[in-house]
Amino acid sequence: MTQEPSPVVTSEEPFRVPVLNLLRLAVPAVLVGIGSALTLLGLSRLAGLLEHWIWDDLSAALGVSSDSALWIIGVLTATGLLIGLVVRYAPGHAGPDPATLELVAEPLPLRVLPGLAVALVLMLAGGVSLGPENPIIGINVGLAVGIGMRFLPKVKAPIWLMMAVAGTIGAMFGTPVAAGLLFSELDPGDRRIPLWDRLFPPLVAATAGSLTMMQLEDLDLAVDVPAYTYGGLDDLGLAVLIALGSAVLGLVAVYLFVPMHRLFRRIGHPVLMLTTGGLILGLLGALGGEVTLFKGLTQMQELPGLAATTTALGFLAMAGIKLLAMLVAATSGFRGGRIFPALFVGVALGFAIHQAFDGIPLALAVSAAVVGIVVAATRNGWLSIFMAVAVVPQVTLLVPIVLATLTAWLVVTNRPALVAPAEPTAPAEPAAPAEPSGPAPDAPRVSP
C-alpha cells in the first residue's frame, strides 16, 4: 500500500501596488482634497450669510426678536416649504431620500448636485437640527466622479469616490486623522493590498482638504471645560455608566427612526411633508430656544456659559429636544447629516449629569456621553473616540474614553442602524463605472 503524496500548499503572493502608481494618484488626490474643502467652505459661508440675513437683519427690520417663538416657528416652517419646493421641482429632486442613505452612498449625477446644494444651504441657514456632512459628501463625490472620470478616465470611480469622501472629512474636521481612523476601521477594498497602499490616495486628499481649511477657516470643536485629573477606578466606572446611558438613549432614537420615517412618508407630497416637518421643528425650537437650533457645533460651545443659570433638568431637556428635532428633520426629508446634532446631544447630556452630580468631573461626563451617543448614531468606534477627543482635547481622558466606547459598543452591536430602508425603485443607470482599480477601496458603509 503506497501513501498518497501530501497536497502542496501554496501561499498566494501578496498584491503589490507600484510606488509610481501611488505617486501618480497623489496629484488628483490633492486636487480633490482642495476642491472638497473649497466646496464645503463656499456653501458654509453662503449659508452663514443667509443665516445672518434671516435671523438678524430681517427679524430686526420686521421688529421681531429672533429668539421669539413666533419667529422660530415661522422661519423653520418657511424653510421646510422652500426645501420642499426644491425637492419637488429641482432636477433629480435634490438626491435620494437622505433617511435611507449611509454616510457614503453611490455617486450622484451632476444634474442633481445644484438642487442638493440649494437644499443644504437653506437647511443650514434656516436652523434645522442637522449637519452638512451627508449632503456635502454627496456633492463632492458627485463632482469628483463626474469631472474626474471625464478628464482622467484611467482613475476609476471608486478611487475618485474615496478621495472625495476623505477630502471632505479632512476639511470638515480640520485634520486627516478622522478620515484615517474611519477608513482603517472599515478596512475596505482588496485585503491582499496592504492597508496603507489602499489608504494612500484618500489620506493625501484628506491632508490637502484639512490644510486648505486650516488656511482659510478657524476650526475648533473644543468645549470649554475644566482640566481633568484621573481619579482611578471610580472614574472608569463612572465613564462606563455614563456611556451606557447615553448609548441606550441613542438606541431609543434608532428604534424611533423607521416608524417616524414611515409616518412622514404617508404624507406623500414632498412639499407638504417638509413643511410639516419644518412646523414641528419650529415648535420644538420655540420650546428649547435658539440653543437647540442649527447643526449644534456653535451651540454646544455655548453650553458652558449657560451652566450658571441652567439646572440638570434644563440641560437634559436641551438634549431631548435636540434629539427629537434631529429625528424629525432626518425622517421628514431635510437634506443633512446626523453626526453633529448627536454630538450636541452628548455634550448636553454630559452637562446635565455634572449638574445633577457635581462630584463627577465635567470633562469625564461630557466625553463619556459623547462616545455613547455617537457610537449609537454611527456604529463607528474610532470616529466616536475622535469626536470625544476633539470636543474635550485632554490626553488624560483617553483611557476612560476607550473603555466607555467599548462598553457602548456592546450595547449597540447587532442593533439596527440609524438608517431607514429604501423604497424599492426601478434600477437606474450608474453615474459612472465602478470597477475597482489599483488600491481603491470599496465604498464604506457608515451610518450617518
Domains of the chain, each with CATH number or no CATH:
19-216 (no CATH), 233-412 (1.10.3080.10)
DSSP 53: I
SS3 (DSSP) at 44: helix
Q: Which H helix or E strand runs over 24?
A: helix 19-52
Closest to 406 measured CA to CA, from 244, 232, 210, 212: 244
Alpha-carbon gap, residue 18 to 15, rounded angstroms: 10
Return the residue matching grid coordinates 496629484. Answer: 27
Higher pLDDT, 41 or 104: 41
* Cα angle, residue 62 at apex, residues 58 and 68 outer, rounded to 5°: 85
Count Cα neighbours of 406 within 13 Å in the Cβ-side half-sphere. Answer: 7
**pLDDT > 70: percent of the chain:** 90
Name the least confident of 46-55, 94-103, 200-209: 94-103
pLDDT at residue 12, as a whole number: 57
| CB-CB neighbours of 22 under 10 Å | 17
**Surface-to-core class of residue 244, CB atoms within 10 Å of its CB (0-12 exposed, 13-18 middle, 19+ buried):** middle
Residue 335 CA to its chain's centroid (Å)? 12
Q: For the segment 345-363, what is each residue's pLDDT rounded down to a tens digit? A: 999 999 999 999 989 999 9
Range 29-41 average pLDDT: 96
- The pLDDT-based confidence of 120 (bands split at 50, 70, 90) is very high
Alpha-carbon gap, residue 328 to 393, rounded angstroms: 31
pLDDT at residue 417, as a whole number: 84
Q: Is the pLDDT of residue 434 over 70?
A: no
| CB-CB neighbours of 216 under 10 Å | 13
Range 187-199 average pLDDT: 75
Q: Is the pLDDT of residue 249 over 80?
A: yes
Q: For the segment 43-81, what is each residue's pLDDT rounded down to a tens digit? A: 999 999 999 999 999 999 999 998 899 999 999 999 999
pLDDT at residue 448, as a whole number: 59
- The pLDDT-based confidence of 430 (bands split at 50, 70, 90) is very low
Range 85-106 average pLDDT: 89
Q: Whats the size of the chain, residue-wise?
A: 448
